[in-house]
Amino acid sequence: MVKSLLDEVMTVSLRRGILYPSAEIYGGLAGFYDFGPIGARIRNNLIALWRNRFIERRDIVYEISGNTILPSPVFKASGHLDHFTDPSAECQKGHVSRIDQLIEEKLQIHAEGKSNKELAEIIAQNKIRCPVCGDPLGEVKSFGLMFGTNVGGERRQAFLRPETAQNIFLGFKRVQTATRAKLPFGVAQIGRSYRNEISPRQSIVRVREFSQMEIEYFIDPNQMNECPFFEELSGIKLNLVTQEEQEKAAKKKSTDYSSIQVTVKDAYEKKYVPNQWMACTLGDEVVFFQELGIPENAVRFRHMRPEETPHYSGGNFDLEILFSFGWKEVIGNAYRQDHDLRSHMNGSKKDLSLELEGKKIIPHVIEPSFGIDRMIYAILEHTYRPKNKSRGWSWFQFPVNLAPYHAVILPLLNRPELEEAARRLYQQCKLQGHSILYDDRGRIGRRYARADEIGIPKAVTIDPQTLDDQTATIRDRDTAQQTRHLLSEISILLKP
């Protein structure tokens, strides 16, 4: 049987310690994965690249690190307690299905945002049954997605946050006062989020505990078209799926959309996006995805349809990636206007407004919300290279900055002089700031294969000639070509 790309990627991921099910020895729980030694390195590198691009390079973004358990009034005010639900239905045998997804899969139509009544009608009209056992499905109900808990002796109700964003709004006044930041400025957070998904699936694409990197850009509502990054990003090209295109496709009962290509400048000037800030946010993401090794034609922005977005949205644009199982959201971009600060002002009775030229204003918010796990899975699929005639093993073509190690150092033979030279080079490269693996176990071909399977860009082999002329070979992962270099030059040649 031909394996799907997902199965192939997961087979290597499990074997090489990229990721594996949590609590596997006890049978685990669906929708929970751990990153192993290689996956954790890739994850850390991804976070470092993101932090560099979106925080360090910008003078106006501040990072916080907040708690994942928050008291229930937070989620009452944010609306999550009442509205953060997915439609579900149970069959007589007790299998629970997420109904909008089930309809989308069966009928190839968009079902997100439809009411439970509308979904129930579609289920009945199309005689859709339980995908596990084929029994009829029961009533369509709203299923709350937050994990609840009780805190301490007082047993106060609390929830695990379903997104990192809320901490940013809660601490908004503290951060602004402490940093003396003036609008526009951003507050970022990287951390865990939790959602009790009805149907976790597709490896780490839909899980119940995951990580996000979110930024809230706080902007003077009168300056939504004065983004400081506009000049830098105006020429970047965006693949855009317009709402009109989606309407046209819906009439043909299709979700096979074509996209148009517009520059950031045109997206703003021709009003494809609500404002300059949104245009720049999308442009920044395109540049970032190029760094990650995901081809340009596998990245698009879908303008969400009105029924998919909340009433306060000034425009949402999902960054979608083409996976082997179709296009899927990886970043949610939302123009949230002043909804969040205003809701927390109402809920907490605290003033979260700022004073600007003698007037009180509530900043508007542009929110890009990146999912780390989905991004990692997208990188795995797009950099995966199956084995072929010239290479008898599969491998990952990670960009150097994402790869778990810059290089592996391999003494060709188990001879003390070679091992000593290899160890010396290993230490030198480490001192130069490289992340390096040392591998002296097994045949050399096997060791190249192991390095390729975890996407290490260079393999440096120390052989008997090294002892004569102080040179070693560097094997390039992508071409499998070997070249000889002086030991003293190797560390420089490994630089990303």
* Closer by beta carbon to ligand ATP, 307 or else 469: 307
Please identify which residue in 50, 172, 185, 210 interacts with ligand ATP, judged by CB under 6 A: 210
Residue 206 beta carbon to ligand ATP: minimum distance, rounded to whole angstroms: 5
Asked if 444 and 412 count as a contact pair (C-beta separation under 8 A), the reply is yes
Number of residues that bind ligand ATP (CB under 6 A): 15
Asked if 160 and 210 count as a contact pair (C-beta separation under 8 A), the reply is no
From 311, 306, 304, 370, select the one nearest 339 (Cα to Cα).
311
- 453: its two tokens: 């399977």
Angle at alpha carbon of residue 204, lines to 198 and 205, rounded to 5°: 70
- Which residue's C-beta sits nearest to ligand ATP? 371
* Closer by beta carbon to ligand ATP, 331 or else 451: 331
Angle at alpha carbon of residue 219, lines to 217 and 220, rounded to 5°: 170
**By CB under 6 A, is residue 340 in contact with ligand ATP?**
no
Is residue 78 classed as helix, strand or coil in its secondary structure?
helix
From 379, 432, 387, select the one nearest 409 (Cα to Cα).
432
**By CB under 6 A, is residue 330 in contact with ligand ATP?**
yes
* Closer by beta carbon to ligand ATP, 363 or else 371: 371
**By CB under 6 A, is residue 329 in contact with ligand ATP?**
yes
* Closer by beta carbon to ligand ATP, 166 or else 491: 166
Query: Residue for token digits 């030059």?
Result: 489
**By CB under 6 A, is residue 39 in contact with ligand ATP?**
no
**By CB under 6 A, is residue 332 in contact with ligand ATP?**
yes
* Closer by beta carbon to ligand ATP, 104 or else 245: 104
Part in contact with ligand ATP (CB under 6 A); list of ranges 6-14, 52-60, 328-336, 464-472: 328-336
Q: Which residues pair with 263 in a beta bridge?
A: 237
Please identify which residue in 97, 164, 369, 473 interacts with ligand ATP, judged by CB under 6 A: 369
**By CB under 6 A, is residue 206 in contact with ligand ATP?**
yes
**By CB under 6 A, is residue 339 in contact with ligand ATP?**
no
Compute the radius of gyration of the chain from its Cα atoms: 25
DSSP secondary structure string for all residues of 468-494: HHSEEEEEETTT--EEEEEHHHHHHHT
Residue 463 beta carbon to ligand ATP: minimum distance, rounded to whole angstroms: 45
* Closer by beta carbon to ligand ATP, 291 or else 308: 308
Part in contact with ligand ATP (CB under 6 A); list of ranges 34-42, 120-128, 132-140, 205-213: 205-213
Please identify which residue in 98, 303, 374, 458 interacts with ligand ATP, judged by CB under 6 A: 374
**By CB under 6 A, is residue 50 in contact with ligand ATP?**
no
**By CB under 6 A, is residue 195 in contact with ligand ATP?**
yes
**By CB under 6 A, is residue 450 in contact with ligand ATP?**
no
Please identify which residue in 176, 212, 246, 383 interacts with ligand ATP, judged by CB under 6 A: 212
Question: Binding to ligand ATP (CB under 6 A): which residues in 125-164?
Answer: 163
**By CB under 6 A, is residue 371 in contact with ligand ATP?**
yes
Question: Three-state SS across 143-191?
Answer: EECCCEEEECCCCEEEEECCCCHHHHHHCHHHHHHHHCCCCCEEEEEEE
Asked if 356 and 220 count as a contact pair (C-beta separation under 8 A), the reply is yes
Question: Three-state SS across 385-449?
Answer: ECCCCCCCCCEECCCCCCCCCCEEEEECCCCHHHHHHHHHHHHHHHHCCCCEEECCCCCHHHHHH
Q: How many C-beta neighbours within 10 Å does residue 156 have?
A: 12
* Closer by beta carbon to ligand ATP, 43 or else 195: 195
Is residue 272 classed as helix, strand or coil in its secondary structure?
coil
Please identify which residue in 100, 373, 381, 452 interacts with ligand ATP, judged by CB under 6 A: 373
Part in contact with ligand ATP (CB under 6 A); list of ranges 257-265, 366-374, 428-436, 482-490: 366-374
Part in contact with ligand ATP (CB under 6 A); list of ranges 135-143, 222-230, 358-366, 367-375: 367-375
**By CB under 6 A, is residue 207 in contact with ligand ATP?**
yes
* Dihedral over alpha carbons 272, 274, 280, 284 (to 10 degrees): -70
Can you tell me the distance from the alpha carbon of 274 to that of 16, in angstroms, rounded to the nearest whole number?
45
**By CB under 6 A, is residue 382 in contact with ligand ATP?**
no
> Where do contacts with ligand ATP occur on this chain (CB under 6 A)?
163, 195, 197, 206-207, 210, 212, 329-332, 369, 371, 373-374
